[in-house]
Chain A
Amino acid sequence: MIDEIRAVLKEHGRLSVDAATCGERNDLYAAGMTSQASVNVMLALERAFDIEFPDRMLKRSVFESIASIRDAVKELTANR
Chain B
Amino acid sequence: MGQTGIHVEAVRRIAAEIAGPAADGVDREGRFPHETFAALRTARMMSACIPEDLGGFGCGLVELADMCEALAQHCSSAAMVFAMHHIQLACIVRHGLDQPYFRSYLATIVAQQNLIASVTSEVGVGGEMRTSLCGVERQGDRFTLAKDASTISYGQQADDLLVTARSSPEAPNSDQSLVLVRKADYSLEQKGAWDALGMRGTCSPPFKMTSRGGVDQILASPFSDIASQTMVPFSHILWASCWLGIAKAAMTRARAFVRAQARAKPGTTPHAALRLARGASLLQSMRTNVEHAARECEALRGSGHETEVLSSVAFALKMNNLKVSSSQLVVEIVQEALQTCGIMGYKNDSKFAVGRHLRDAYSAVLMIANDRIYATNATMLLVLKDD
What is the minimal beta-carbon distance from B20 to any residue of chain A, in angstroms?
41
- The verdict on A60 contacting B311 (CB below 8 Å), with A30-B222, A33-B174, A35-B130 known, is yes
- Cβ proximity bits B308-320 to A, threshold 8 Å, 1 near / 0 not: 1001111000000
Asked if residues B308 and A59 are in contact (CB atoms below 8 Å), the reply is: yes
Q: How far is the CA of A42 from the CA of B383 in the complex (A)?
A: 7
Q: Give CA–CA (A53, B313) in the complex, Å.
A: 12
Contact with A along B171-198 (1 / 0, CB 8 A): 1111100000000000000000000000
A1-50 residues at the B interface, CB under 8 angstroms: 16, 29-36, 39, 42-43, 46
How many angstroms from the CA of A29 to the CA of B385 in the assembled complex? Answer: 23
In whole angstroms, what is the CA distance A34 to B168 when docked?
A: 17
- For residues 194 through 217 of chain B, which have their beta carbon under 8 Å from a beta carbon of chain A? none
Interface assignment of B141: CB less than 8 Å from any CB of chain A: no
Q: How far is the CA of A30 from the CA of B177 in the complex (A)?
A: 11
Q: A52-B385, A59-B311, A59-B313 are in contact. Are A39 and B379 (CB under 8 A)?
A: yes
CA distance A16 to B224 in the complex (A): 17
Min CB distance B39 to A, Å, is 40
A58 touches B172 (CB 8 A): no
Which of B224, B308, B384, B386 has the most chain A CB within a 10 Å cutoff? Answer: B224
Contacts of B387 in A (CB 8 A): 55
B380 in contact (CB, < 8 A): yes
Among B174, B311, B312, B382, the one with the most A-chain Cβ atoms within 10 Å of its Cβ is: B174
Residues on the B chain within 8 Å of A53, using CB: 383
Give the chain B neighbours of A29 by CB distance below 8 A.
Answer: 174-175, 222, 224
- Whether B228 lies near A55 (C-beta < 8 A) is no
Give the residue among A34, A46, A53, A61 with the most B Cβ atoms within 10 A.
Answer: A34
In the complex, what's the smallest C-beta–C-beta distance from A65 to chain B, in angstroms?
14
Q: How far is the CA of A78 from the CA of B318 in the complex (A)?
A: 31
If A29-B175, A35-B130 touch, whether A59 touches B382 (CB-CB below 8 Å) is no
Residues in A with CB closer than 8 Å to B222 are: 29-30
Q: Which of B338-387 contact A (CB under 8 A)?
A: 376, 379-380, 382-387
Contacts of B174 in A (CB 8 A): 29, 32-34
The answer to whether B224 and A43 have CB atoms under 8 Å apart is no
Residue in B130, B172, B379, B384 whose beta carbon sits within 8 Å of that of A55 in the complex: B384
- The residue that B175 contacts in the complex, of A30, A54, A56, A58, with Cβ under 8 A, is A30
Chain A nearest CB from B227 CB (Å) reads 10
A61 to B222, CA, bound (A): 13
Among candidates A34, A52, A58, residue contacting B313 with C-beta atoms closer than 8 Å: A58
CB neighbours (8 Å) of A33 from chain B are 174
A-B pairs, top 8 by smallest CB distance, nearest first, are A32-B172, A58-B313, A59-B312, A16-B172, A42-B383, A39-B379, A60-B311, A59-B311
